[in-house]
Amino acid sequence: MAGITAVLTGRLARRGTLLSIAIVNGDAIACRMSEMTARILDPAAIEQKLSLNTYNVDAERAHIRIIDSEVCLKCVRQQCINCCPANCYAPQDDGTVLFSYEGCVECGTCRIVCNQFRNVEWTYPRGGFGVQYRFG
Ligand code: SF4
Ligand code: SF4
């Protein structure tokens, strides 16, 4: 089906990030993080709630990885950095992106926003590993 098929807006952050993604013809085309929104959403309260979560990190298997760091050099927007609510993607001085899976909240955002190069290999953690949500 042609055209916009979905607009997803969610509060997905430890820091109160608002994320908006429009799905057009099966591709995500937009991602927005608003400083103003972050203030409105009371990041301290979100931080407090998310601090209740626990993580059982699988040291033997990264459930997400960047397939080819060289490809990230061609990615102008590098949406993964701004859109990951857990700050798992960090820009490097050489233009590549460093990924750390330990704090991942398994939202799936990076899988969607890396739509141009499809450079993120994404799976869930093995059973018993990963984030354990304990929202109050
Ligand atoms: S969005 Fe994908 S290609 Fe672009 S920097 Fe992030 S992982 Fe690399
Ligand atoms: S699924 Fe991707 S965007 Fe979401 S928290 Fe994990 S690394 Fe970040």
Q: Mind listing the pLDDT tens digit for each residue in 60-106? A: 999 999 999 999 999 999 999 999 988 899 999 999 999 999 989 99
DSSP 4-39: EEEEEEEE--TT--EEEEEEETTEE------HHHHH
Mean pLDDT of 8-36: 47
Report how far residue 36's alpha carbon sits from residue 114's, in angstroms, rounded to the nearest whole number.
Answer: 25
**Quick check: CB of 31 below 6 Å from ligand 2?**
no
Mean pLDDT of 115-134: 95
* 93-113: pLDDT as tens digits: 999 999 999 989 999 999 999
**Number of neighbouring beta carbons within 10 Å of residue 54:** 10
User: Which residue's CA is minimally distant from atom 8 of ligand 2?
Assistant: 84
Q: How far is the CA of 64 from the centre of ligand 1 (A)?
A: 13
